Chain A
């Protein structure tokens, strides 16, 4: 049953109680795919199916060509025999073991001696910067630390597929910023496919190479974070990713970020952000941008720039205007404002955004 495509290939149906989820996807080795969708959409159940904790109702799961689950042939590999690591939303660290023994659990349970499994665990402890915490019990760890331990514990099993269930949901806002960036770095080291499930578009955009958006049990959009953010396929996706995201560079401790795509943005320092970080991501909600058809003077907003309207789209109760400039930007205005301003394709507009409305964090 081996051979064939490397990576993960899922083509399956999961039914659980009131919901059903139909998913067809392939994740290549080294690729990080985020499955983005509202709570209760069956995202966690998808991960549980991949890990072997529930069975597919229909369809199949293949990893590096080997069948893990196939409803048609009644094939099902139990979780302990799948080379699949999963980091649970609540981490599920064993409370009776210290950090080192938690991480040593997988090698120890699969036949390694106590000494050998601890040696493996020590490697991971070092790699994830947990050396000082090795003797701690899970109850003594912060959320971010617990997440790193959970990640190390999964990786110590040497999986060929890594799954993360809402990896940042259990963290407070301040910790999230740091952990998000660190997590991205750790995932880049992993050579197999990674599937991350989240309901938070920012998490998905920072962590993933590709985003699969699910809505009402089926895939509504699939693409790179930039694609999904710029061209929402449905109102739901637009609302979900309802923001502009820019990558840029700044001088140390400066508030002015030079954006990769041209233009600059003045940002407000986000609490908890490393002041030394030079590479930043700046998110700007479309509703936080004001749009004028005349040059703007006498504004308190720190960011003022100009561009041309390249698209107008009605999104439910508001209008999303696509402005091409430096930087390009999506702007939300009311239908009444659209009529007042007389916008059309090619109209020259001036945009303003307060520094305090930007969300900046290390890339």
Chain B
């Protein structure tokens, strides 16, 4: 890919407003969906790791389903659920005049659906692996459960949380199938980088290669970050 990169026209391609729009949209949506995934995923991981109730295994299956589901199928499922005629989408439309598909919010939802399991699975493993003794010690020192979670549990799983967040963000950034199915491909609104690459491949293969190079750079940077900060052997704490 590096060999085929049109280095001379690269600056022009990267200065193209459409490309910048796609890049900005990608970064904004991937970051937003990661934020949503952290807010929802950490409590969810805690529930999966620490509680026992009927239906827990069903919940776990649901959470991990997107990991094995083809993203396009995920997009179809989201459309069936949140589409204007979908189970949930109908009420959203009726009560709030609010539709998700083919909006930027829809992109975030699609990315979240596909990427959150990466975070949940990573963090759940960390919760399971954590020595409960530290939390017990905190409680005997007068810390409430919330304080214990905030001052002991979270800092101790921080490396895993960071790794899960980065994985989630990277997956969201590369999301294609669910996004194009559920949110469509309108420039500036739902056309993220992977979609732009796909589109460019039809009209301007050189631009596609250039765009791919940008995504490749971002991915490698993420991997390098992971390696140096969190995946170094013996750097667990």
A contact residues vs B (CB 8 Å cutoff): 51-53, 78-82, 84-86, 88, 90, 92, 94-96, 105-106, 108-110, 139, 153-154, 157
Cross-chain contact B140 with A85 (CB below 8 angstroms): yes
Q: Which 7 A-B pairs have the closest CB atoms?
A: A109-B143, A106-B141, A92-B137, A79-B139, A110-B142, A96-B155, A92-B133
Residue of B nearest to A105 (CB): B141
A82 CA to B131 CA in the complex, in Å?
22
Task: Decide yes or no whether B186 CB sits under 8 A from chain A.
Answer: no
Residue of A nearest to B137 (CB): A92
Size band of the B side of the interface?
A: 20 to 34
Partner of B142, one of A96, A139, A157: A157
**Of A78, A94, A109, A139, which is in contact with the most chain B CB atoms at under 10 Å from its CB?**
A109
A51 CA to B137 CA in the complex, in Å?
10
Task: Decide yes or no whether B217 CB sits under 8 A from chain A.
Answer: no
Which chain B residues lie closer than 8 Å to A80 at the CB level?
A: 139-145, 148
B121-147 CB mask vs A (1 if < 8 Å, else 0) is: 000000000010110111111111101
- If A95-B237, A96-B237 touch, does A105 touch B143 (CB 8 Å cutoff)? yes
A157 CA to B158 CA in the complex, in Å?
26
Nearest Cβ on chain A to B136's Cβ, whole angstroms: 6
Task: Decide yes or no whether B156 CB sits under 8 A from chain A.
Answer: yes
A53 CA to B136 CA in the complex, in Å?
7
Task: Decide yes or no whether B229 CB sits under 8 A from chain A.
Answer: no
B contact residues vs A (CB 8 Å cutoff): 131, 133-134, 136-145, 147-148, 151-152, 155-156, 158, 237
Instruction: Jot down 9 A-B pairs with beta carbons below 8 A, ordered by A.
Output: A82-B140, A86-B140, A90-B133, A94-B134, A96-B158, A105-B138, A108-B151, A109-B151, A110-B143
Cross-chain contact B156 with A109 (CB below 8 angstroms): no
Nearest Cβ on chain B to A316's Cβ, whole angstroms: 39
Nearest Cβ on chain B to A333's Cβ, whole angstroms: 47
Cross-chain contact B133 with A153 (CB below 8 angstroms): no
A139 CA to B148 CA in the complex, in Å?
21
- If A90-B133, A92-B134 touch, does A84 touch B151 (CB 8 Å cutoff)? no
Which chain B residues lie closer than 8 Å to A52 at the CB level?
A: 139-140
A311 CA to B204 CA in the complex, in Å?
106
Residue of A nearest to B141 (CB): A106
Residue of B nearest to A89 (CB): B133
A106 CA to B136 CA in the complex, in Å?
13
Cross-chain contact B142 with A109 (CB below 8 angstroms): yes
Which chain B residues lie closer than 8 Å to A81 at the CB level?
A: 142
Which chain A residues lie closer than 8 Å to B134 at the CB level?
A: 92, 94-95
Which chain A residues lie closer than 8 Å to B133 at the CB level?
A: 88, 90, 92
Cross-chain contact A95 with B139 (CB below 8 angstroms): no
A151 CA to B152 CA in the complex, in Å?
19
Residue of A nearest to B237 (CB): A95
